[in-house]
Amino acid sequence: MLKTRLILLLALCVLCLQCNGANGDLPAKKPENAVVAKYGYEIVKSLPHDSNAFTQGLILVDGKLLESTGQEGHSSLRSVELETGKILKKVDVPSPYFAEGIAVLNGKVYQLTWQHQLGFIYDAQTFKRIGEFKYHGEGWGITTDGKSLIMSDGSNGLRFLDPSNFGVTKTINVLDGQTPVAQLNELEYIKGEIYANVWHADRIAVIDPENGHVKAWLELTGLMPPDAVNNEEAVLNGIAYDQASDRLFVTGKLWPLLFEIKVKR
């Protein structure tokens, strides 16, 4: 009897090992349309923001906000006091240019323009214009991983540019599962991930810079009450990360407020 039980037990063990051999040796394949994570938010602080600023680029450098504003005839590069929204320094971008995103790398501000395939380079301290650069297609958002400039152009592609010659070194296609995420707008590189506004969406894509996969959506619905803005183009656009204090700020075009938020994962 004991012998029979032992044989049965042995047979069961062999079966289990075979099962593991078939399914356990390889990592489980991720479904192609796996639902990505959704992150929530908590408002840490609400701060004043110029409700005439058509925000197209937002970054935080040395505790000060740098902001690029768009629209022809109203475009600018400005330095803004974080706590008060007071404009500390501003240079206008003349017509016909429509300014877009900005990034700071090695003491220089790089500013895109929407449809002129031309970017401007400024000294980050003085805002003196010290150069220009060209690119194909439209310019929407721009950020940096500390080596490359990374730009969006309204499609689901993000281009990595070599800042020494503005050549494209890599392009990633941003996908939510298998679905392209087009109209990527203002960008921010945060701790190895790219955060991207999507034009007219109340959420931010958190993107893997290696392969373009959307790792999560930061859902920001309700951040700015709809009745607080009176323009259908007054949409969420503007992400700034302060590396020194690990703080995250977001705003929108023509929004009267800028929010420090905490991401709830």
* Residues of this chain that bind Ca ion (CB under 5 A): 58-59, 188, 239
Q: What is the DSSP letter of 187?
A: E
Cβ atoms within 10 Å of 251's Cβ, excluding its own:
27
Q: How far is the CB of 143 from Ca ion (least distance, A)?
A: 6
- The C-alpha atoms of residue 228 and residue 243 are separated, in whole angstroms, by 30
Nearest distance from C-beta of residue 224 to Ca ion, angstroms: 17
Query: Which residue, 177 or 203, has its beta carbon nearer to Ca ion?
Result: 203
State the nearest-atom distance from the C-beta of 67 to Ca ion, in Å: 9
**d(C-alpha 231, C-alpha 65), whole Å:** 24
Q: Which of residues 99 and 239 has its CB atom nearest to Ca ion in the complex?
A: 239
- List of E strands, 14-117: 37-48, 55-61, 64-69, 76-80, 87-92, 99-105, 108-113
> Cβ 98 to Ca ion, closest distance in Å?
17
State in angstroms the smallest separation of the CB of 60 from Ca ion: 9
Give the strand pairing for 37-48 and 214-219: parallel
Going 231 to 154 to 139 to 89, the CA torsion angle's sign is: positive
For Ca ion, the closer of residues 58 and 109 by Cβ is 58
Nearer to Ca ion, 50 or 188 (CB): 188
- Of the pair 204, 234, the CB lying nearest Ca ion is at 204
Which residue lies nearest Ca ion, judged by its C-beta?
188
Rounded CA gap, 117 and 135, in Å? 5
